[in-house]
Amino acid sequence: MHAYVGQTVSLRLIQATGEGDQKRRKATGTLDSIDANVLNLTSSDGQQFEIALSNIDKANLIYEDA
């Protein structure tokens, strides 16, 4: 998965992340970093997420025509 750092990914989560009105189970954005337990994602609107790998139900790489 380290090969995909900097790429756009779409995630479906097991449990919602965020607070208040910002809770979401789906997140799409640029993969900033990943380690053994957590990945960091920045959405297109600038929100940053720290998501536990154990909370990811499904992950897809978004194709970008260069």
Residue 21 above 90 pLDDT?
no
Per the domain annotation, does 55 fall within a domain? yes
Query: Phi-psi bin for 25: left (phi > 0), alpha (psi -120 to 50), beta?
Result: alpha
Q: Is residue 25 part of a domain?
A: yes
Q: Would the CA dihedral through 64, 38, 14, 16 be positive or negative? A: negative
d(CA 23, CA 17): 5
> Which tokens is 28 given?
């799409």
Instruction: Please report whether residue 48 resides in a domain.
Output: yes
Both tokens of 46, joined, read 């600038």
What is the percent of the chain where pLDDT is above 70? 97
User: Which residue segment(s) compose the domain that 11 sits in?
Assistant: 2-61
Look at residue 66 and tell me if it is in a domain: no
User: Has residue 42 been placed in a domain?
Assistant: yes
Long-range contacts of 18-22 (CB under 8 A, 24+ apart): 18/49, 22/47
How many structural domains are present in the chain?
1
Over residues 33-39, the mean pLDDT reads 95
- Range 48-52 average pLDDT: 93
> Average of pLDDT values for 32-45?
94
